[in-house]
Amino acid sequence: MATNHKTRMLIIGSGPAGLSAAIYGARAGMEPIVVQGLQPGGQLTITTDVENYPGFREVIQGPWLMQEMQAQAEHVGTRMMWDTITDVDLSGPTFVATGDGGDTYEGDTLVICTGAQAKWLGVPGEQELSGKGVSACATCDGFFYRGKKVVVIGGGNTAVEEALYLTNHSDNVTLIHRRDSLRSEKILQDRLEANPKVSVLWNKKVDQFLAGDNGELRALALTDTVSGDAIEFEADGAFVAIGHAPATELFKGKLAMDDTGYLLVTPGTPKTDVAGVFAAGDVCDHTYRQAITAAGMGCQAALDAERYLAEKEFANMTETVQG
């Protein structure tokens, strides 16, 4: 039989944002429920070496970090639920989420931490070499390619920004684009053209990522989109930068979004356009997309959720006394 679970703070998503919100919410006595979703722990569970999360002198593993975050959240009183949300009702006064097995989760506040997924090319070798030379985040992994030959695939703002960022670590950065002009903003293109560490391969399509004898990335198989010629381009690291897709399908028509599907929040806060509903992490952040920024936003969401309930309860109490 389907079960109804009630809480003062319902959290959808269990990456750094969701678990940080849970830790703060639990310590505030809100007895949060975290519904973990299809990828418990978020994108860090498919990330190997993590070197930029504060507090750890040595390189740590992404899955281990998320296990520790979850254990901490549970230790202070969070309930973890293994379920996937298929529908939400934000009409209030409480917010209700329905799982794919029929269970319902009812929260006085709702914190959305469903994240975003990097878009991939879908070519052979891409997933097999993920973490072994192929990445979708230069800010996360560029440090591991200091002094090495790297490529960035894409032609928009993200690709140009990642190529420029990688020049902090490498003097040999190549941007590979399937067309003969970039889609990025003019100012970014000017910076790219002015940087001697970056070159551009125009009209090239990536067909395959090729591994060397050591199991790491060796080269990319490319096709010239004009001539049809096939070439191999050697590289130590390849960064796919063709955008991200926020996991917001559940909230279409229910919460305000930008034209790319990211949830809109009041600047500097996790507040959505529905009172009592908050968003944190990559689901509303198309700029930074880091574990530490997601965790900070999760903290903000929990603190604002607590204040929202306190103000609501005070208003109800005042109304009762006056009545």
User: What residues are labeled active site?
Assistant: 137, 140-141
Q: Using CA atoms, how far apart are residues 19 and 318, in angstroms rounded to an integer? A: 34
**Nearest partner of 297 among 16, 11, 9, judged by Cα:** 16
Find the helix or strand (DSSP H, E) in which 12 lies. strand 4-12
Taking the CA atoms of residue 79, residue 80, residue 85 and residue 90 in that order, the dihedral angle to the nearest 10 degrees is 30
Calculate Rg over the CA atoms of the chain. 22
Count of residues making up the chain: 323
What 3-state class would DSSP assign to 64?
A: helix
Report phi then psi at 296, rounded to 5: -65, -40
Q: Are strands 33-35 and 49-50 parallel, antiparallel or unpaired?
A: unpaired
203: left (phi over 0), alpha (psi -120 to 50) or beta: left
DSSP label of 140: H
